[in-house]
Amino acid sequence: MFAFFERWLPAPNTASRSERLRACAGAAAGLLLTGLVGHVILARDGISLFFVAPMGASAVLLFALPASPLAQPWSVIGGNVISGLVGVACVHWLGASVPVAALAGCLAIAAMFALRCLHPPGGAVALTTVIGGPAVLGAGFHFPLVTVLFNCVVLVSAAVLYNNLTGRRYPHTQQTPHPHPHATADAVPTSRLGFAPEDLDAVLREYNQVLDVSRDDLEALFLQTEQRAYQRRFGIISCADIMSKDVITAEFGTGLDQAWRDMRGHKVASLPVLNRARRVIGIVTQGDFLEHGGLDDYRGVRQRLRQFLRPSGLTHTEKAEVVGQIMRSKPVTARLDTPIVDLVPLMADVGFHHIPIVDEEERFAGIVTQSDLVAALYESRFAREAA
């Protein structure tokens, strides 16, 4: 019998145990806070309806699926309140009955679609306004505009605080794609061979159903799937396998003239900046010298560069003289065991040319450049074809 129904069962939930516990704890905290605050503020003013059942369904989305488009603040607040207003209007014009409850649910869904605030618990709010009993019917428009609105605002505020404190981005806004690093009209390199955003948009239009996942998350999942497929076909090469280990580095107090001579003498375009514990605190590139030296205009570049590198005797607030004053703080790093395919989007699309590699203690171990990455990918593909 179970095998007969198994084909209609959803796929197993992929959330980890810690993720499930975090969702349960967040829902409990959010609902408790909403109920207590409602009791203190609304009940004190003589409002008997200070906590409504559909908030339990909203809590499932807010704390278990915070990345869902259905769980974003406008969906929660707008969907619940608008559905409540629709339900009260139906009761006001047509009276309370089961057919009216069905009509209220139907119109609430239509309103949420039209206002782009689709939220499943909104359907429950619409039904509650019709069949919720004398207390709800007696409250009229006061029910959605005060009780439901107040509950939603408190619950969403709790979700914002809890999700961000536990490391989840909420509200989960649509992420803008990385601009082309060279500010041209070309697509970023990783989009030229794999699927393009236009392909995803076309498929979504043909799918013609509401997805409980944001478009940018869906695109990220597809890209990660492509990377995993590449690793399966060609093997996993880690950063430790290809990185340069004998790397010229700088410290915060390294003079600009010394750093420039090191870069020119070793023909490198960047220097990782390390502290005394050999942890990466920044990176300085030739572009940083050009930017801070006021060298955007090609005329007189040689003279201005000499002036920029020459010690002036001024305080550091008046003129940059050490690497720490022009470096880019907190650069993107990777670990020794990071697969090199994970670096492809960072280098090809975002425009990073050098990525420092750190060990398990976050100490500097080496650096991977675009040249290292291209050579490694070429060699892995060549070895595969030769085999």
Closest of 231, 270, 237, 295 to residue 352, by C-alpha? 270
Report residue 40 as tokens.
């203190």
**197-231 residues labelled b (16+ CB within 10 A) or e (exposed):** eeeeeeeeeeeeeeeeebebbebeeebeebbeebe
The string of pLDDT tens digits covering residues 316-347 is 445 668 999 999 998 999 999 998 888 888 88
Give the number of other Cβ atoms within 10 Å of residue 259's Cβ.
Answer: 24
Question: Residues 343, 376: contact at Cβ < 8 Å?
Answer: no
Residue 366 per-residue DSSP state: E
Question: Residues 271, 284: contact at Cβ < 8 Å?
Answer: yes
Is the sign of the CA dihedral 170, 174, 176, 178 positive or negative? positive
Cβ neighbours of residue 321 closer than 8 Å, sequence gap 6 or more: 255, 256, 311, 312, 314
Report residue 93 as tokens.
């014009």
Q: Phi and psi (nearest 5°) for 343?
A: -85, -15
Q: Average pLDDT by consecutive 10-residue portion of the chain (387 residues)?
A: 55 74 94 93 78 94 92 96 96 94 96 95 95 91 94 97 92 64 57 67 78 74 73 75 92 92 91 95 89 62 64 55 90 92 82 92 93 78 59
pLDDT value at position 284? 94
pLDDT value at position 383? 58
pTM: 0.65
Residue with tokens 């047509």: 94
Reduce the DSSP state of residue 273 to 3 states and report it. Answer: strand
Cβ-in-10-Å burial (0-12, 13-18, 19+) of 267 comes to exposed
Helix (H) or strand (E) holding 354: strand 354-358
- Alpha carbon distance 126, 149 (integer Å): 13
**Vertex 110, ends 105 and 112: CA angle to 5°?**
95
Residue type, 210: V
- Alpha carbon distance 307, 330 (integer Å): 28
Q: Domain coordinates of the chain in residue numbers?
A: 15-165, 189-234, 240-386
- Alpha carbon distance 68, 163 (integer Å): 13
Cis peptide before 311 (omega within 30 of 0): no
Reduce the DSSP state of residue 177 to 3 states and report it. Answer: coil
Q: How far is CA 173 from CA 124, 147, 198, 243, in A?
A: 26, 27, 20, 35
From the candidate CATH numbers 3.10.310.30, 3.10.580.10, 3.40.710.10, 3.30.1050.10, the one assigned to the domain spanning 240-386: 3.10.580.10
The string of pLDDT tens digits covering residues 134-158 is 989 999 999 999 999 999 999 999 9
pLDDT value at position 317? 46
pLDDT value at position 337? 93
